[in-house]
Amino acid sequence: MDKLVAAEAWTRADLLGLEHLSAEEITLILDTAEQLKTMTGGCAGKLDLLRGATIANLFFENSTRTRTSFSLAARRLGADTIDFSSSGSSLSKGETFIDTAKNIEAMNVDAIVVRHRTPGTPHLLAQNVECCVVNAGDGAHEHPTQGLLDIMTIREQRGQIEGLTVALVGDIAHSRTARSNIWGLQKLGAHVIVCGPSTLVSRHWEKLGVEVAYSLDAILPRCDVLNLLRIQFERQLMRPFPSVREYALLYAMNGERMTRAKKNILIMAPGPINRGAEITPEVADGPHSVILHQVTNGLAIRMAVLWLTYCAANTGAPS
Amino acid sequence: MSNILIKNGRVIDPSQGMDRVSNVLIEDGRISAYDVKVEEKPINGSMRLIDATGKIVAPGLIDMHVHLREPGREEDETIRSGTAAALAGGFTSIVCTPNTNPPMDSQGTVQFVQRQAAEADNCNVYPMACISKNRAGEELAEMGTLVEAGAVAFSDESSPVANSELMRRALEYLLMFDKPVLNHPQVAELTADGVMHEGLVSMVLALPGIPAEAEDVMTGRDISLAESTGGKIHMMHLSTAGSIDMIRRAKTRGVRVTAEVCPHHFSLTDETLRSFDSNFKMNPPLRDSEHLDACIAGLTDGTIDVIASDHAPHAVEKKMQELDQAPFGAISLETSLALVITNLIQPGHLDWMTALEKMTINPAQILGIAKGTLQIGSDADVTIIDPEDTWTVDPEKFYSKSRNSPFVGKSLTGRAETVIVAGRVKFERGS
């Protein structure tokens, strides 16, 4: 395992978001994920780096792919996993989420992977439990492993992030993927554009060095990467645009728009995708799409994060 | 009842424009004389001497916006614990809000609160009663009988009056009784699921926002209704540059509008929410520095008449929830005065006279109560303040039942040292 000594440079027992990570830390995760991907033969094989450790998935919000990905990543490293799902508020059972988490921690888990509809809940959790906490999505705030797997996929395809123009398209307001991507991409030197309906793209992003655009057609020729975000209907109180039809006319990536894009453009989507709304099937399944690479890299990133946080919390692998 | 001679303090009484070192004599529960020579008054069993050298002797402070929670939410606060906290904060009179359960929309509830306050025997408690029956915003509560029972002001409190016709009628009807309507100006449809101030920080944290315009829109409406009816309106806990500017302009036209701000709105910004600590979740929300500066400017130029705490206790387990589930509000009776001193007086935004005016005679006049003054013959409600005492906020030491302070661990300067209500020493720090 001496190839993974880079873990010593990682000091965080929790991964709560990308906003407060340095470029070096992000690069370290990406490098570790690439190594693990190689060591597992493309995330297919098993290692025993975390044998004896127990990872708890604590999901207060529905999720299929992220939870599955974390579970599989943990098992690929030899850890045991337990799943705890509760779609409703913990309060409905008369228990605070901190009580719930402490109960799970008392089962001697080494890490809690948490998803919650409310921003900041993983941060509060981390203050209240001893074990590692990994944010698997807190409301529309952050989804660090999604941001990392997107960035890993871009780096894999292009060799580097610096100097690329990456557009995040769609429902920026309600997207945790957007926020984690913005922080990570900016730190690694990309030019980030947020593009979507003006009701879903705040002007405040400009103050943080992000380009704000409302016309996909206007920015399309400049983009090296398009990340097409899902419209988060479930988080919107009042639909912020008149119809899906109008949205698709303005923002859907389709075959016609592909003819006006750079020849080597990368098409990404965090999934699940609304085919027809954000992306047409010909593009989703076309040669520029790296959507399924993203899924595979998700495993690599989650292996890396579980491994690194574990090592930081325990100063080394399980004995 | 023993008499008291307060010796050598700096007496600041905005109601008389008085600011000088003097000896104040209290006899039979009233202010009876100034400049009394100590040697002429035998100190014995019936005369107590309080040395106020280096201290400020002020009219008993008034907080016109306090949630005592009783009846209905005694797990958060009781009238006994809340009034004890008020005394420790230097307040001799408080106005308690009607968002209780049952709400204060009938003589019965008002009388219950008065009886509990009398039994607690801490500070004076003046009930604020509901504008509408059951605070439902539909029909007027029986305001005449509520005035008779002792209500000094009317508000639906945390349920802003959305119906403009109801607000207009309330302002008109209360003209008969010369009582003010107090409103929390906020348009519900603009705040929906809001957790914090809408701005750059809410965007980054992805927390639903409460935009400034939610306050501005209703403030504009309330000013219009007060102007057309001639009624008295008092705007509670203003937090935005827009609403404060509207008040400023309305006052120049002679509209009978007054306004308050809370210490947290001139002390903290929305940046604090980056901690995701629910103790920073309040309504109106902590806003950005531009709005904070507007609150201070409003205090400085006199647009803002009153500093009130909006003391809002919540039991620990309620604030321990996820940020969207945790209730709005912070305890503030025991930090309010120190925040005024630390964040307004020390930096030079307000002098002592102006600051105390907003915590004594101004609220008294808005409420129409004979308090907030040290004139000879008035009730001897006196707050002796140590302006130099530097202390660290530790809610575990508070008299309030709740612990939800956004100032935990902060070092503040100044606090009440001795508090006298109707000639009786009700609070002495360290005793």
Q: A125: number of CA atoms within 13 Å, CB side? A: 35
For residues A96-106, give the mean pLDDT.
86
Task: Quote the pLDDT of residue A319.
Answer: 54
List, for residues A29-80, the tens digit of each pLDDT value: 999 999 999 999 998 999 999 999 999 999 988 888 899 999 999 999 999 9
Does A116 reach chain B within 8 Å, measured CB to CB? yes
Does B323 reach chain A within 8 Å, measured CB to CB? yes
Task: Quote the pLDDT of residue A99.
Answer: 86
Whether the per-residue pLDDT at A316 is higher than 80: the answer is no
CATH 3.40.50.1370 intervals, chain A: 2-143+296-314, 145-295
Query: Taking CB atoms and an 8 Å cutoff, what residues of chain B touch A202?
Result: 203
List, for residues B158-170, the tens digit of each pLDDT value: 999 999 999 999 9
Whether the per-residue pLDDT at A295 is higher than 60: the answer is yes
User: Which residues of B are identified as catalytic?
Assistant: 310
How far apart CA A149 and CA B283 sit, in angstroms, is: 38
Please spell the DSSP secondary structure of B200-245, one letter per residue.
HHHHHHTPPEE-HHHHHHHHHHHHHHHHHH---EEE-S---HHHHH
Is B206–A140 a contact, with Cβ atoms under 8 angstroms apart?
yes
Q: Which helix (DSSP H) or strand (DSSP E) does residue A222 occupy?
A: none
For residues B387-409, give the mean pLDDT.
97
Does A100 reach chain B within 8 Å, measured CB to CB? no
Task: Quote the pLDDT of residue A25.
Answer: 97
Task: Quote the pLDDT of residue A68.
Answer: 94
For B324, the closest of A19, A118, A237 (CB atoms) is A118
Which residues have CB under 8 Å from B8's CB, separation 6+?
B21, B23, B51, B52, B53
For B320, the closest of A98, A202, A204 (CB atoms) is A98
Q: What is the mean pLDDT of chain B?
A: 96
CB A268 within 8 A of CB A153: yes
**Cβ-based contacts under 8 A for chains A and B:** 57
CB-based burial, A157-182: b 16+ in 10 Å, e otherwise: eeeebeebbbbbbbbbbbbbbbbbbb
Task: Quote the pLDDT of residue A238.
Answer: 74
- Chain A residue whose CA is closest to B318: A96
Domains recognised in chain B with CATH numbers: 3-57+378-399+408-428 (2.30.40.10), 60-367 (3.20.20.140)
Best residue in A16, A93, A124, A210 to probe B by mutation, most B CBs within 10 Å? Answer: A124
Q: Which helix (DSSP H) or strand (DSSP E) does residue A185 occupy?
A: helix A176-187
How far apart CA B189 and CA B287 sit, in angstroms, is: 19
Is B276–A119 a contact, with Cβ atoms under 8 angstroms apart?
yes
Q: Is cis: bond before B347, omega within 30 of 0?
A: no
- Report the range of poorest mean pLDDT among A3-7, A189-193, B22-26, B231-235: A3-7
- What topology does CATH give the domain A145-295? Rossmann fold (3.40.50)
Prediction pTM value = 0.94
Does A204 reach chain B within 8 Å, measured CB to CB? yes
Q: Which token pair is B182?
A: 């107090």
State ipTM: 0.93
Q: Which residues pair with A194 in a beta bridge?
A: A168, A212
Whether the per-residue pLDDT at B360 is higher than 50: the answer is yes
Is A141–B206 a contact, with Cβ atoms under 8 angstroms apart?
yes
Does A27 reach chain B within 8 Å, measured CB to CB? no
- In chain B, pLDDT over 70 holds for what percent of residues? 100
Task: Quote the pLDDT of residue B339.
Answer: 98
List, for residues B179-229, the tens digit of each pLDDT value: 999 999 999 999 989 999 999 999 999 999 999 999 999 999 999 999 999
Best residue in B189, B195, B204 to probe A by mutation, most A CBs within 10 Å? Answer: B204
Top-confidence residue, B41 or B287: B287
If pLDDT is split at 50, 70 and 90, which confidence band does B277 have?
A: very high
Whether the per-residue pLDDT at B393 is higher than 50: the answer is yes
Q: How far is B100 from chain A (nearest CA, A)?
A: 23
**Helices assigned H by DSSP within B58-159:** 79-88, 107-120, 143-149
CA distance readout (Å), B214 to A89, A204, B304: 28, 19, 19
If pLDDT is split at 50, 70 and 90, which confidence band does A1 have?
A: very low
What are phi and psi for residue B332, nearest 5 degrees? -150, 0
For A204, the closest of B203, B320, B325 (CB atoms) is B203
- What topology does CATH give the domain A2-143+296-314? Rossmann fold (3.40.50)
List, for residues B1-17, the tens digit of each pLDDT value: 679 999 999 999 999 99
